[in-house]
Structure 1
Amino acid sequence: MPTIVRTIEIIDDGKRIDRWVSDEISKESRSRLQQLIKSGNILVNGLSVKTSYRMKTGDEVCVHMPEAEPLDVTPENIPLDIVYEDSSVIVVNKPRGMVVHPAPGHMSGTLVNALLGHCHDLSGINGVMRPGIVHRIDKETSGLLMVAKTDEAHHSLAAQLKDKTTKRLYLAIVHGSLPHDEGTINAPIGRADKDRKKMAVTDKNSKQAVTHFKVLERFSKFTFVACRLETGRTHQIRVHMAFIGHPLAGDPKYGPRKTLPIQGQALHAAELGFVHPVTKKFMLFRAPLPVDMERLLEGLRENHYQ
């Protein structure tokens, strides 16, 4: 994309620089635009500004969108459970224990390594380490993820997540017996003060988070629930269920160490729905419970875990 220079008109007065560029120049994600502002690729009157800068009438904005970096993540021949695929998107059923994208300590064996081994036409919007990745689920969570093959598809899917129009339903086994058959948890989530690797319900540097839950089956010391995400914050279901006193089984990070025998939290992304970026038709996908969660439910029904 060539460098673009624009002069701000009165109608844009007071608008944040990242929002203005998103509305007028590029459909890149806000986080990506904020990175470009910080790196000096977006200037106001020839100078670098903060991402919170408010536009003034007459400001001259120079936007340079660098080309996507070539991918340098190693493709690997790792089997994938592909639920759906076409020229624009892939829907994958990720197994529990697989990391979504490479990061220090996990440079191989990730979903991205597997995707690159399967196909090379993934969107480059999120950079070399996260090609095609529109959203994530935790390493120890299983279930459905949508992956973009083109930048156009990535923009569309990311916008749907932002507008809260995607359907994301999770199944979970939690500690204790919920007092209500269904309900909504509306509590902001941000970094925990004492442990920056954890998230927490907090008013400090937090974002709105909304989770709707419904009880599917009750046991003496555990409950099987469905959780529908309205927002998508890091560890949202894990944090919200712990916040109301019912942490996920298998999740000592937010709950008790004494829990059910499962390698990771008993959480599965069971349904995923979105409007196809090209056909504009709503598509809904389902993934059955993994074997480990099915076995836990069978054991609970037979009172094995008392």
Structure 2
Amino acid sequence: MTPEILFEDNHCLVVNKPAGMLSQGDETGEPSLVSWTADYWREKYDKPGNVYVGLVHRLDRPTSGVVLIARTSKAAGRLADQFRLGEISKLYWAIVEGRPETDSGEWVDHLEKDRRTNVVRATAEGEGKIARVAFEVLHSEGGLTKLALRPKTGRSHQLRVQLAGRGMPIVGDRKYGSKRLVRALDGEPRIALHARELIFTHPTKGEPVRIEARVQEDWPESAPGWWRSTLGR
């Protein structure tokens, strides 16, 4: 799997991460976006040995879309501050089972992660960490709905849990209740969640940068007639 480069300069790299690729390496030792970026920079800039890769945010393995990476520790610190302060705008597309009661609005939950099982659950108000997301219905057909999601916070598995908790699991997300299966380009399972757009302030120029990532061939809508297919019913 090869990420698509969307933007690159001396301070930042922005890529379209394919579904199925880890953002950061884990105990499996499988290739990740971080290891791919390090190899890419070593070859492009002829830098043997270690290179700095500042992963300032990440996407879940079965999710595709925009990921921002810093080339220097200075840039990483400034970008991380933007994420922490909620100054970065994020837009996701999701296809879910079911439909919201309204065409747009905001959901607020409190979430808690079990690090042993890597499962996140909603908790009572006052417990866990607050999670906010604005939503808008883009299309609804055959018992499925395509949503535009703008998270105001960046909690682990946030969108997956907030949707599943309302009886609308993301298509393909077996972990949180979907009964459907979607395959990534490498044949492994993926979910119908795509980080479509990211708007951030350049860490040295101070200018807004807007990046949009196309969906790839494994995005469910890419299949002709998908909304009316067996999967879409």
1:89 is aligned to: 12
Structure 1: distance between partners of 2:65 and 2:99: 25
Give the superposition deviation at 1:220: 2.2
Post-superposition Cα deviations, 1:86-107, rounded to whole Å, max 9, x if no partner, equal: 00000010000000111101x2
Map residues 188-203 of structure 1 onto 2, 5 A cutoff: 188-192=110-114, 196-203=117-124
Structure 2: distance between partners of 1:208 and 1:305: 32
Give the superposition deviation at 1:265: 1.0
Aligned in 2, Cα 1:229/1:296: closer, same or farther, shift over 3 Å? farther
Give the superposition deviation at 1:295: 2.8
Q: Given residue 198 of structure 1, which amino acid in structure 2 is its aligned partner?
A: V
Post-superposition Cα deviations, 1:156-199, rounded to whole Å, max 9, x if no partner, equal: 11000011010110001000122210111110111259x73200
* 2:85 pairs with 1:163: yes
* 2:161 pairs with 1:234: no
Post-superposition Cα deviations, 1:202-245, rounded to whole Å, max 9, x if no partner, equal: 14851111111110000121100011111000001000001111
- The answer on whether the counterparts of 2:142 and 2:232 sit within 8 Å (CA) in structure 1 is no
- The answer on whether the counterparts of 2:113 and 2:121 sit within 8 Å (CA) in structure 1 is yes
Structure 2: distance between partners of 1:249 and 1:296: 15
Q: Given residue 205 of structure 2, which amino acid in structure 1 is its aligned partner?
A: T
Aligned in 2, Cα 1:255/1:297: closer, same or farther, shift over 3 Å? farther
* 2:192 pairs with 1:266: yes
Structure with the higher strand share, 1 or 2: 2
Structure 1: distance between partners of 2:214 and 2:23: 20
2:186 is aligned to: none
* 2:69 pairs with 1:147: yes
Q: Structure with the greater relative contact order (CA < 8 A, sep ≥ 6): 1 or 2? A: 2
SS in 2 for 1:188: strand
Q: Percent identity?
A: 33
* 2:207 pairs with 1:300: no
Structure 2: distance between partners of 1:183 and 1:244: 13
1:174 is aligned to: 96
Unaligned stretches of 5+ in structure 1? 1-77, 122-127
| Structure of larger gyration radius | 1
* 2:200 pairs with 1:278: no
Query: For 2:30, which of 108, 115, 123 is the aligned residue?
Result: 108
Structure 2: distance between partners of 1:79 and 1:178: 35
Give the superposition deviation at 1:131: 3.3
- The answer on whether the counterparts of 1:81 and 1:94 sit within 8 Å (CA) in structure 2 is yes
- The answer on whether the counterparts of 1:273 and 1:283 sit within 8 Å (CA) in structure 2 is yes
Q: What RMSD over aligned residues (CA atoms) do the two structures have, in Å?
A: 2.4
- The answer on whether the counterparts of 1:177 and 1:219 sit within 8 Å (CA) in structure 2 is no
- The answer on whether the counterparts of 2:142 and 2:228 sit within 8 Å (CA) in structure 1 is no
Structure 2: distance between partners of 1:120 and 1:188: 42
Give the superposition deviation at 1:276: 0.1
- The answer on whether the counterparts of 1:260 and 1:305 sit within 8 Å (CA) in structure 2 is no
Residue-pair matches, total: 220
1:55 is aligned to: none
Aligned in 2, Cα 1:185/1:297: closer, same or farther, shift over 3 Å? farther
Structure 2: distance between partners of 1:131 and 1:89: 10
Q: Given residue 197 of structure 1, which amino acid in structure 2 is its aligned partner?
A: N
